[in-house]
Structure 1
Amino acid sequence: MPERQTRFHGRVPRQDRCDQPGCAEPGEFRAPLSAGDFDGPGQYRWLCLDHVREFNSGYNWFTGMTTEEIEASQRPYAGWERETRAFAHSGADTPPRWTDFRDPLDAINARFRTGERPRGDGKPLSGDDRRALKVLGLNADADRRALRQRYSDLVRRYHPDRNGGDRSKEGDLQKVVEAYQSLKGSPAFA
């Protein structure tokens, strides 16, 4: 069994040596050169694990702070007193029922306005439903009766038995059949 490698947050594998004088270990951890006020990335030195631990143990976040500033930064709700803006509700409609969709992404897309005109009866249409309606040449407000009528018209038009044995329209017939089968089971046409 291979030996498990130890991983440390912040380790950057490097071949350069530790910046601590006299250390021959690789410097894989970054530490700031000065502990002054933070104003941008600043300059860093590279230390080995032992020396970066030593550096971190001597680091004190509260150095230079008053007692009141220390207490204020240690409160459990520090930072939460700032007011935030409210979430906008203008981009979303009421959520659809998840059971009306086969694909969860279609349900999510149906919730947000996409510029497509909704059905008059309020029944949801998935992206697949809209593509199938386009294949059949129907609008979004078509009902089950219009769907069946359009399907039978297109089958008569494209079927080789009905158009003198012309098989050039078999691809179109297949698309019509697939679109009808998809829409027939859709909640919008139930």
Structure 2
Amino acid sequence: MSTFSKYFEKIRVRPDPQAEAKAAAPLCQWDGCKEAGTHRAPVGRMREGEYFRFCFDHVREYNKGFNYFAGAPAAEIARFQKEALTGHRPTWTVASNGSARFAPDFSTKRSGRAGYYKNVRDPFNLFSQQRAEAPAAEIRTRPLEAKALETLGLAADATGAAIKSRYKELVKRHHPDTNGGDRGSEERFREVIQAYRLLRQAGRC
């Protein structure tokens, strides 16, 4: 086969990417070096985005002694390390909203008008009129509440503590395990439970 064959003319040699990079790279910035600066090295703190151009051997030498915090005060280094834990994103402490600690927790509040007027914040006095009328509404007892109090043997102005105490006393007295199979006592037991449940829903205890 002749060296001038048409097949040799069609052969393409892949160019060396490293040779092309060296040819296009600027001169190494290391003092006295004549090699191509094919590798980047960061300039340092407060000059982010700026780089030196070194050859392979000198970029390794530069990286061995590189210190991003060189000359930085200890307080700034500590702050940087603390912020690095959250990726330098802003964070807030739990319950940083000062008004949040005074907001009502409705999951622990009882239902009914008595619980509402006593426990809800009103910093702008939007419900001052309703709150002023609340005591009068609490004193007035509805017919079903009056009947429930009568079932428990209590007066209309009985407090929540008195209602709970009376309920516990009657339950112990008329519980099926202690009434000896008395049907009348079982019926009384059901009435006491229904009366107490109604008073709880009304916010009386």
Taking structure 2 as the reference length, what is the TM-score of the superposition?
A: 0.32
More helix by share: 2
Taking structure 1 as the reference length, what is the TM-score of the superposition?
A: 0.34
Larger Rg: 2
